[in-house]
Amino acid sequence: MSEKNHTNIATFIHLSTFSRFLIPFGNFLGPLVLWIINKDKSQFIDEHGKQALNFQISILIYSLVIGLITIPFFAFSILNGFDFMDFNLFDGIHLNISKPSPLFYIGGSLGFLAVIGFILEIVFIIKASLRARDGEVYNYPLSIKFLK
């Protein structure tokens, strides 16, 4: 295989993580299939496949942790704060939301953190794809090395 072909495959390994928007678990299946088929063809492809999969597994773990922390904050704020919501929809539209619980703000902040993490994930994937296209190895930040 030529050097250009290796860089193209490595680039597609990173870009295949976007298949999650079309296929459930596509962010794992796309890179995994491309990596398994091509990992013996070059060390460059092998390294990029491991990097992409390690990053996706790390993002999954980070998302689960943030979700497990966020969900109780929202649940407790909703269950504890029924007194601050006053909906009177049958006699006319009346909506009274006075003072939400501080837990609601903490949960919202963690949700905002998850959105920032999603945006950073997209930026890192694009950056890794561009580096692979240029023939360079990219190490994702905050990635845990599961595959070595």
Which helix (DSSP H) or strand (DSSP E) does residue 64 occupy?
A: helix 43-80
Residue appearing with tokens 């703000």: 105
Write out the two tokens for 17.
């993580």
Question: What are phi and psi for residue 31, nearest 5 degrees?
Answer: -65, -35
Structure confidence at residue 55 as a pLDDT band (50, 70, 90)? very high
Read off the pLDDT of residues 72-87 as tens digits, 9 standing for 90 and up. 766 666 665 554 445 5
CB-CB contact of 46 with 39 (8 Å)? yes
Strand partners, 96: 86
> Does 94 score more than 60 pLDDT?
no
* Cα–Cα distance measured from residue 46 to residue 70, given in angstroms and rounded to the nearest whole number: 36
More confident residue, 140 or 69: 140
Residue appearing with tokens 């597994």: 57
